[in-house]
Structure 1
């Protein structure tokens, strides 16, 4: 049996979960261990994707999975190449561009774990200085390498969030939590400085449906209720009753209702900062101000639920004056990605295997996580999907051998579920035999030049970020790319 040499495009949770599963199912003590090589490519210079650049800084417990990822990276059969942009136009200027044509000849298998990196925009709210996607705020406060412009919070008193998912509540919480509280977390110093100048007094969080359909979790809602220096504007009592004839509430819906009925810890009128959940409101347009200092006017259509729980207009309208609108409506995969399906908004797959537009399996090419399923689910569901895709890769490569351990149920596995190779025509884009330790010469040159990072580089940066953070009494103090490259050049000089 030929060796399995896998390139993983993406360095986030799904990528690491797949790599970890493969390495654990073919442990170094096994007879097949030497037949497995994994090279991971990420356009970000640091690993872990959304765990580093998407998780709210005040949720450090969510980042505990990185311990497992670091264990996988310690296996010599896995190599990480950061700051390498594979196969799509580079959204980050300092990355090393690498075409699929340059990547494919070096690998027998390829996995796309590229996530969903493009925000869904609202049709009535084109991006402008008055309207930005939530991803811009998240990337700002996590110092993502795309380096979005900091929001002018010193000139903003009212913020409107469109969408009632967890990301909306993350952004609202970051804007309303005192910087002195955030200072102990993984919030970069330049971000804290902007937050300290903030004049935000109120955050409106809009949703086109009601409290029982809101996408946020009770944990996120409870955190909003417990904000130390802000209070929730009381809800219309009509929202706090269950309509007659409605189906029995789920456990989460019941807990949400209890929290909303109780209200925030700080009673209305006792705090300078406030926030509101504005249900049954859908933006229909935006009038930008004519003069500096004036507020924008957000036109809202009032909605109600039809028998299928869809939001439909009532015919009533209202206007909300605001300084900044932040849309948080989900994400989709990069449309220029290979095998992207515009009808799905992610890659076209069957049981984790990539499928072309003609319905043919692209042999030995796979996708996992949001790249394959769309932007849904949490880390646990991402892990289960990744494990199932890893199992599929091994089943395809070692069809006659039992190299599997814990089975993954199809209900948990998502895109990776399915036990057998689908009976479909296949196309070949990868070689069957490759050299075990080679990788594209462009990447090799990038390593020598300090433009491409490896996991040893990350370990050095990680330790330094933690050291700097401890000196400041916080979790870590992050580096941006320019700082990291300078630090690595001085700490680990490279020989040309």
Structure 2
């Protein structure tokens, strides 16, 4: 076996799964174990990426994979270099910049496991003090080194989440769960202090399509239904029946429907805090208030599904008064990254191998995880 000296750019789950697999294929007991060396670079000071800074603190079971990562890190052939930013402008000012040109000559192979770190923004909702991407909230409550400012929850009573995926439900759950419950988990003390001062009374979760197209999982929805001290606003009964002539519901769609039909454990009107799933609503603009203390006005276009299940406008509109809009519409790779393809929103690859703009395989350069496939799952 030829000697393999691999540089992995990125220190998240994908990077560790690849490193772990390579180390297991050539165990330390092997006579050729010394032929393998892996250096892992990450712009953050600590490894594990999305597992450390993307998972909600009240979901510790999702972080169990770090045990496997720690086993790989114990192998002396794997070394981790934190606070090193390779190839692209760093969003964290204290990192050491390292150009790709300086890195490549020292390795036989390079793997990009840089993920999708840039939030997708809504074209009608530019970022402002009244509209922020969900990533800023996630990075706040996980205490990401980028140090986003805490939301002014003591001045907020109504929050609107745009998008109905699991991240939206994570954020809603963090805002509505009593701090005394969250204190049992690995929630940083500064975050708990802000949550204890929170005045949030209602969270609206908007989706441009219906309940059968929502991206959240049954598990996440069930957790929302079981929130202590909060209740769901009842849905229009028309949403709670399968459309006529539709295909057979999947197992997840059937379970989602059952949960929505049952409603939250706490019945409407019995709790101080509430939340709602607002289907068939698509934001068209946000009017910010002129006076301090007034709410912003979120303009919504009403939608319906066409025969191909795409959301199309009905022509009806409405307005929702809210204090803060949080967009949760997915993520894409860093556009300034080498071999980024704007039509794909991630690195250009073929079976894990990086491809240049001319369609040619880049020798000994690979990508894994979201860097190669886009943010999914």
Uncovered stretches (5+) of structure 1, i.e. residues with no partner: 376-496
Greater alpha carbon shift after TM alignment, 315-324 vs 26-35:
26-35
Task: State the Cα deviation string for residues 289-327 of structure 1 (Å, max 9, x = none).
Answer: 010000000000000000000000000000000000000
Describe the SS at the equivalent of 2:300: strand
1:259 aligns to what? Answer: 259
CA drift of 1:22 comes to 0.3
For the residues of structure 2 that align with 1:32 and 1:14, how far apart are their CA atoms?
25
Task: State the Cα deviation string for residues 363-385 of structure 1 (Å, max 9, x = none).
Answer: 1100000000000xxxxxxxxxx
2:343 aligns to what? Answer: 343
CA drift of 1:17 comes to 0.2
For the residues of structure 2 that align with 1:290 and 1:125, how far apart are their CA atoms?
17
For the residues of structure 1 that align with 2:6 and 2:99, how far apart are their CA atoms?
16
Task: State the Cα deviation string for residues 459-494 of structure 1 (Å, max 9, x = none).
Answer: xxxxxxxxxxxxxxxxxxxxxxxxxxxxxxxxxxxx
Task: State the Cα deviation string for residues 147-196 of structure 1 (Å, max 9, x = none).
Answer: 11100000000000000000000000000000000001111000000000
For the residues of structure 2 that align with 1:10 and 1:16, how far apart are their CA atoms?
9
Greater percentage in strand: 2
For the residues of structure 2 that align with 1:214 and 1:243, how far apart are their CA atoms?
15
Uncovered stretches (5+) of structure 2, i.e. residues with no partner: none
For the residues of structure 2 that align with 1:208 and 1:31, how far apart are their CA atoms?
58
For the residues of structure 1 that align with 2:39 and 2:258, how far apart are their CA atoms?
49
For the residues of structure 2 that align with 1:169 and 1:102, how far apart are their CA atoms?
42
CA RMSD of aligned residues (A): 0.6
1:373 aligns to what? Answer: 373
CA drift of 1:46 comes to 0.6
2:297 aligns to what? Answer: 297
Highest CA radius of gyration, 1 or 2? 1
Task: State the Cα deviation string for residues 110-135 of structure 1 (Å, max 9, x = none).
Answer: 00000000000000000000000000
Please, what TM-score do these two structures have when normalized by structure 1?
0.75
Please, what TM-score do these two structures have when normalized by structure 2?
0.99
CA drift of 1:33 comes to 1.6
For the residues of structure 2 that align with 1:46 and 1:230, how far apart are their CA atoms?
35
For the residues of structure 1 that align with 2:244 and 2:68, how far apart are their CA atoms?
48
CA drift of 1:243 comes to 1.2
4+ residue segments displaced more than 3 Å:
none
Describe the SS at the equivalent of 2:22: helix
Is 1:64 matched with 2:75? no
For the residues of structure 1 that align with 2:105 and 2:97, how far apart are their CA atoms?
16
Describe the SS at the equivalent of 1:319: strand
2:120 aligns to what? Answer: 120
CA drift of 1:26 comes to 1.0
For the residues of structure 1 that align with 2:351 and 2:287, how far apart are their CA atoms?
46
Describe the SS at the equivalent of 2:371: helix
CA drift of 1:65 comes to 0.4
For the residues of structure 1 that align with 2:261 and 2:45, how far apart are their CA atoms?
45
For the residues of structure 2 that align with 1:52 and 1:242, how far apart are their CA atoms?
39
Greater alpha carbon shift after TM alignment, 81-90 vs 159-168:
81-90
Describe the SS at the equivalent of 1:93: coil
Task: State the Cα deviation string for residues 230-255 of structure 1 (Å, max 9, x = none).
Answer: 00000000000111111100000000
CA drift of 1:105 comes to 1.4
CA drift of 1:31 comes to 3.4
For the residues of structure 2 that align with 1:94 and 1:224, how far apart are their CA atoms?
38
Describe the SS at the equivalent of 1:132: strand
1:265-276 equivalent positions in 2, closer than 5 A: 265-276=265-276
CA drift of 1:2 comes to 3.2
For the residues of structure 2 that align with 1:348 and 1:333, how far apart are their CA atoms?
11
Task: State the Cα deviation string for residues 273-304 of structure 1 (Å, max 9, x = none).
Answer: 00000000000001000100000000000000
1:432 aligns to what? Answer: none
Task: State the Cα deviation string for residues 425-455 of structure 1 (Å, max 9, x = none).
Answer: xxxxxxxxxxxxxxxxxxxxxxxxxxxxxxx
CA drift of 1:44 comes to 0.6
- Count of residues paired in the alignment: 375
Greater percentage in helix: 1
Describe the SS at the equivalent of 1:277: strand
Task: State the Cα deviation string for residues 382-418 of structure 1 (Å, max 9, x = none).
Answer: xxxxxxxxxxxxxxxxxxxxxxxxxxxxxxxxxxxxx
For the residues of structure 2 that align with 1:101 and 1:246, how far apart are their CA atoms?
54
1:46 aligns to what? Answer: 46
CA drift of 1:27 comes to 1.0
CA drift of 1:29 comes to 2.0
Describe the SS at the equivalent of 1:255: helix
CA drift of 1:30 comes to 2.3
Greater alpha carbon shift after TM alignment, 26-35 vs 267-276:
26-35
CA drift of 1:359 comes to 0.6
CA drift of 1:32 comes to 2.9
1:76 aligns to what? Answer: 76
CA drift of 1:28 comes to 1.5
Describe the SS at the equivalent of 2:150: coil
